[in-house]
Structure 1
Amino acid sequence: MTRGDGMQGMQQGREPLYAGSTVAELYRSAFKSFAQREAIVGDGVRLSYQALEAQCHRMVRYFESIGLRRQDGISLLSGNRADAVVAIIAAQLMGLRYTALHPLAAQDDHVFALRDAGIKALIVDVPRFAERGAALAALGVVEHVLTLGPASFGADVNAALPAFDGADIPLRVQPEDISKISYTGGTTGKSKGVIHRQRTTVTMTLQQLACWEWPAQTRFLAATPISHASGAIMLPVLLRGGTLFFMSKFSPEDFLQTVVAERISSTFLVPTQIYGLLDCETLDQYDLSPLQMVLYGAAPIAEARLAQAVQRLGPVFCQIYGQAEAPMTISYLRRHEHDPRRPQLLRSCGRPLPGNQVKLLDANLREVGPGEVGELCVRGPLIMHEYLNRPEETEKAFAGDWLHTGDMARQDADGYLCIVDRAKDMIISGGFNVYSSEVENCLAQHPAVSLSAVIGLPHPKWGEAVTAVVVLKPGCSANAQELIAFVAKRKGVVNAPKTVVFEANLPLTAVSKLDKKAIRAMYAHGNANTTDGTDSTDGTDNTDNMVSSPQHIV
């Protein structure tokens, strides 16, 4: 036996010695470390860490009583409410496979996710989703339909919990267990289930704790759905001994009032929410000095509007970049790097966080040079395990042993990344690549423009015509020729829109990102396919989920 063989033999059978932590262990650490502190505020309740832990233990015992076992699938259709948080944490303590249903998805999409993920129990927020919950219950898609409050269908979890013990439970979660299955937005067909094992969430949480610039007293306001980004920030807040506050629906006025009343020190916002705050007439009337960290991400932000935000709210902004397949912590742009005197940094999503390998690759999987555009690719313990039931999609995403994000980016000599577009959002006009986010950033510099979405529409001459759908600021005016000339002067004629469409509002996704799929659909049948340099105002109304002169954001 060689010395190498001996070393290998000594290591065999020692896998538990090197095993990582689990999400359940992290939650337990937070509960025991800060038992008497306030953990959750929302729905008229204020729970200490100790009370929250006991309620989570009752939920686990209830799950067990109906036959759920470790690694069974559980799903949640809910808004931001305290008992939904209890259900999410209980699922992790028990080692269930958790899937959040998209709050604004169609019923067929919900049915698909429940069946694809093999969900055994569905929890429904009755005040917000009773109709959809009843429809899903009638279809018999899952074995157990549970409700947060009384309903004409399912079993009321809240009514059952007081009968169960809140004492400690044994933690049986294993490091290789699946923590969650997240579904992508489905912008290019059926949604894909992204499988994350314990490793992903633990890695993300440790990177959040180590690299984000948390205030000393962490009072975090969840102003976006906990089914998405805000839910991924709950665990690090609790590990810091912080307090979670919840908004059921975002409006600038309600947000500002909550920040002042509860002395909120940190939050997460998407760009359209930041625009809403900037356009809120009462913004300057509020003392926002408690607010020290505004995380933002999930969609491109216009450089000009970000500069306005820094000027009016101060050096509180921190950009995060990630995606469903590598959540939240691929890169980070620090507070002091939001410097209007260095405008190139305002276009950046920061530098890769420690623990991540990041490269920009061309179509042949070769690394591009500094300043050149390539697809942003990632390696490391942050990335997903695979797509559920999609081996071909998994192989495509992991080509060359890298996770391919689908984001096109540049990286400068100092390591700062700049996302220029989603690969699918890139417009090819007259044989030239046009990056929609760069045109949107340019339009945002015009004093009359509040918000824009730039898309490519079929054109017999150009292949695709650069089309800008624009929302003007209240009380401001501009015409199509003016905006076309504005972009042409700053970005050249290739990037200038061939058509400008003026709308009062634009459709948003459930997490307040511009819904470019819906925007393309609005104009796919010629609504905006006018002659060069003309404007149209006959877009489809979709006010249930739109941003208008963005003082009203759903």
Structure 2
Amino acid sequence: MNDDAPWIEQYPPGVTATVDVNRYASVPALMEESFALHESACAYLGMGTKLSFGELGRLSRDLGAWLQTQGLQRGDRVALMMPNVLAYPVATAAVLRAGFVVVNVNPLYTPRELEHQLRDSGSCAIVILENFAATLQQVIDRVPVKLVVVATMGDLQPLWKRTLVNHVVRRDKKLVPPWKLPGFIPFSRALREGRQAALLPVDLGPSDLAVLQYTGGTTGVSKGAMLLHGTIIANLLTSEAWMQPGLKRRNITGQLTIVCALPLYHVFAFITCGLLGLRTGACNLLIANPRDLTKTIETLKPHRLHIFPGVNTLFNGLLQQPTFRTLYFSELVITNGGGTAVQEVVASRWLQATGCPIVEGYGLTETCSGVTCNPTDMVAFTGTVGLPLPNVAIRLIDEQGRSVPTGAAGEIAIKGPQVMAGYWQRPDETAQAMTHDGYLKTGDIGTMDERGFIRIVDRKKDMILVSGFNVFPTEIEGVVSSHPGVLECAAVGVPDEKTGEAVKLFVVRKDPALAERQLAAFCAEQLTAYKRPKVIVFKDELPKSNVGKILRRELRERA
């Protein structure tokens, strides 16, 4: 047994300790191979309309060529602010093929959050769904964005459906608030004009920046993890190798399908669904609004489901629906659980309903999604996050950076080609996140048994995990503290049946008349829904250390 990497002995047959991650110079090189190999096969399916690999190649070529005619320079950042609609993968491929950098943006961001990300990334262009254009309108004069491309829910649908969908979205459901962005370009027009231009080849290499994927920070400042072309290729090829044993669990008929209910702007879905689907020739079944569980089930019902990435909240919600068991699970071979801990009771019910165990894994934005996972051919839920994947080295370290004994708790530290190049324009924070020998310090506490299986026992002390999304108390406290009626505050995470954890806010009032509903309304203006406090408690004082630091730990224990 390898004492430094005991997990290798536990790998399923056929999975090797290392994977050649140098087979492609860039993500576009990998994409273009898939466009040719699977030309007529479905790459993405949105609202019942299929987008083939060949069509994705042609449309992304057109949009990429158009972007190149707009004065953008190699390496410029282009923000994408959309839910899971067909325009998203087209825009992603276009930006990368044209030599630019993708900046994934949560479409539910408030103006304050959007402004920070656009300014920090220096994004000079954005492709945005019209439903969220009103948010951009509020900050457009304060951000570096000069080129605005606006897509609609009906884009890339057949003409009759495009007209119907846009009418329903705009008129019936009133999901598009009034907006005004002078000089914007419709997505359809950019595609049309791009057909007349040539996509100029760009010599991209593994060390070129491909994606800025934003994450929260312990300081509360959202930071851009720099994911290089080589970083993403490494994760895709390693993930592809790891999934092979699971694909043999049952006979698969027809094309491989991936349920893409997680949002593509999140690193989990961006890599594990969107790009891994392209790599493997699979069809991604796009779910634009997974909160509508009834509609989600209706969307999935006509299809044979093969791979189902998700978070505990999604699995649990679907299991509560009476119609869930009517889905076609006879060929479901891999269910990926990530983002937050999968509860054992949920895993048990999922296995009973689908016949496919949940394979739990672990990763971060900074590691380009997953770096550990349970074997995909396992037959039972383990309660661990599995083994380090090929090419990944993991150490558990103490406060001094020394490796802890087997079975002892320590901070998880990760090294490998999947690890980010650093935080965008934050060299000091990058240095703080790394050990002297090049391991990324995650801040997550875990144990590793003698076989190499890792169990998460704690997380970054103050981080709150809501439906798989990181919420950092410092950001919430900074927003709430700006309210004139607030003297001081502290945010902590508390258990929640639906979201895993929820935000609980403790407030000392400056204005005795400040009411809970007023503060809740203020938070709704400033924070994305999952970051908003679910419970607000007013107190006369908050517990503090002898140097005046608010003791969140004590508040958590009381809560």
TM-score, reference length from structure 2: 0.71
Residue 173 of structure 1 corresponds to which residue in structure 2?
204
Greater alpha carbon shift after TM alignment, 178-187 vs 46-55: 178-187
Structure 1 pair 19/255, CA: closer, same or farther in 2 (3 Å)? closer
Structure 1 pair 169/466, CA: closer, same or farther in 2 (3 Å)? closer
Task: In structure 2, give the amino acid aligned to 1:108.
Answer: R
Residue 359 of structure 1 contacts residue 376 of structure 1 at CA under 8 Å; is this kept in 2?
Answer: yes
Residue 111 of structure 1 contacts residue 141 of structure 1 at CA under 8 Å; is this kept in 2?
Answer: no
Task: In structure 2, give the amino acid aligned to 1:160.
Answer: A
Residue 297 of structure 2 corresponds to which residue in structure 1?
256
1:230 to 266, 269, 272: 269
Residue 409 of structure 2 corresponds to which residue in structure 1?
373
Specify the SS of the correspondent of 1:237: helix
Specify the SS of the correspondent of 2:322: coil
Q: Unpaired segments of 5 or more residues in structure 2? A: 1-21, 156-178, 474-489, 500-523, 544-558
Q: Does 1:105 align with 2:143?
A: no
Residue 340 of structure 2 corresponds to which residue in structure 1?
299
CA offsets per residue over residues 260-299 of structure 1, 9 Å max, x none?
2122322221110011022223333444324332212011
Residue 194 of structure 2 corresponds to which residue in structure 1?
164
Q: Does 1:69 align with 2:73?
A: yes
Whole-angstrom distance in 2 between the partners of 1:524 and 1:265: 49
1:116 to 120, 135, 140: 120
**How far is the alpha carbon of 1:92 from its aligned partner?**
1.1
Task: In structure 2, give the amino acid aligned to 1:385.
Answer: A
Residue 206 of structure 2 contacts residue 231 of structure 2 at CA under 8 Å; is this kept in 1?
Answer: no
**How far is the alpha carbon of 1:102 from its aligned partner?**
2.1
Residue 212 of structure 1 corresponds to which residue in structure 2?
243
Whole-angstrom distance in 1 between the partners of 2:211 and 2:491: 40
1:244 to 262, 284, 287: 284
Residue 155 of structure 1 corresponds to which residue in structure 2?
185
CA offsets per residue over residues 339-378 of structure 1, 9 Å max, x none?
25xxxx2x20000011011010010111111211100001
Residue 329 of structure 2 contacts residue 355 of structure 2 at CA under 8 Å; is this kept in 1?
Answer: no
Structure 1 pair 471/206, CA: closer, same or farther in 2 (3 Å)? closer
CA offsets per residue over residues 129-158 of structure 1, 9 Å max, x none?
121122233445312122114974221121
Task: In structure 1, give the amino acid aligned to 2:433.
Answer: A
Task: In structure 1, give the amino acid aligned to 2:269.
Answer: S
Aligned pairs for 1:240-389 within 5 A: 240-250=280-290, 251-337=292-378, 339=380, 345=382, 347-389=383-425
Task: In structure 2, give the amino acid aligned to 1:333.
Answer: N
Residue 450 of structure 1 corresponds to which residue in structure 2?
none
Q: Does 1:522 align with 2:536?
A: yes
Aligned pairs for 1:27-176 within 5 A: 27-126=31-130, 128-149=131-152, 152-153=180-181, 154-165=184-195, 170-176=201-207
Residue 303 of structure 2 contacts residue 328 of structure 2 at CA under 8 Å; is this kept in 1?
Answer: no
Specify the SS of the correspondent of 1:386: coil
CA offsets per residue over residues 162-198 of structure 1, 9 Å max, x none?
2333877524223221011111135641111111211
CA offsets per residue over residues 49-69 of structure 1, 9 Å max, x none?
111111000001110111112
TM-score, reference length from structure 1: 0.72
Whole-angstrom distance in 2 between the partners of 1:420 and 1:518: 26
Residue 514 of structure 2 corresponds to which residue in structure 1?
none
Whole-angstrom distance in 2 between the partners of 1:26 and 1:414: 34
CA offsets per residue over residues 37-60 of structure 1, 9 Å max, x none?
122211453222111111000001
Specify the SS of the correspondent of 1:261: coil
Specify the SS of the correspondent of 2:353: helix
Residue 258 of structure 1 contacts residue 264 of structure 1 at CA under 8 Å; is this kept in 2?
Answer: no
Task: In structure 2, give the amino acid aligned to 1:306.
Answer: A
**How far is the alpha carbon of 1:236 from its aligned partner?**
2.0
Whole-angstrom distance in 2 between the partners of 1:168 and 1:142: 22
Greater alpha carbon shift after TM alignment, 38-47 vs 353-362: 38-47
Whole-angstrom distance in 2 between the partners of 1:332 and 1:85: 26
Residue 407 of structure 1 corresponds to which residue in structure 2?
444
Greater alpha carbon shift after TM alignment, 166-175 vs 38-47: 166-175
CA offsets per residue over residues 431-461 of structure 1, 9 Å max, x none?
xxxxx99xx9xxxxxxxxxxxx9x9xxxxxx
Residue 43 of structure 2 contacts residue 277 of structure 2 at CA under 8 Å; is this kept in 1?
Answer: no
Residue 512 of structure 2 corresponds to which residue in structure 1?
none
**How far is the alpha carbon of 1:211 from its aligned partner?**
0.7
Residue 297 of structure 2 contacts residue 323 of structure 2 at CA under 8 Å; is this kept in 1?
Answer: no
Residue 457 of structure 2 corresponds to which residue in structure 1?
420
Whole-angstrom distance in 2 between the partners of 1:43 and 1:285: 20
The count of corresponding residues between Structure 1 and Structure 2 is 436
**How far is the alpha carbon of 1:84 from its aligned partner?**
1.7
Residue 54 of structure 1 contacts residue 168 of structure 1 at CA under 8 Å; is this kept in 2?
Answer: no
Q: Unpaired segments of 5 or more residues in structure 1? A: 1-17, 427-435, 441-452, 456-463, 474-508, 530-538, 540-554
CA offsets per residue over residues 360-400 of structure 1, 9 Å max, x none?
00101111112111000011111011111222211110123
Whole-angstrom distance in 1 between the partners of 2:325 and 2:23: 51
Whole-angstrom distance in 1 between the partners of 2:283 and 2:400: 47
Specify the SS of the correspondent of 1:163: helix
Residue 38 of structure 1 contacts residue 243 of structure 1 at CA under 8 Å; is this kept in 2?
Answer: yes
Residue 221 of structure 1 corresponds to which residue in structure 2?
259
Structure 1 pair 290/528, CA: closer, same or farther in 2 (3 Å)? farther
Task: In structure 2, give the amino acid aligned to 1:29.
Answer: E
Task: In structure 1, give the amino acid aligned to 2:372.
Answer: S
C-alpha root-mean-square deviation of aligned residues, in Å? 3.3
Whole-angstrom distance in 1 between the partners of 2:331 and 2:192: 37
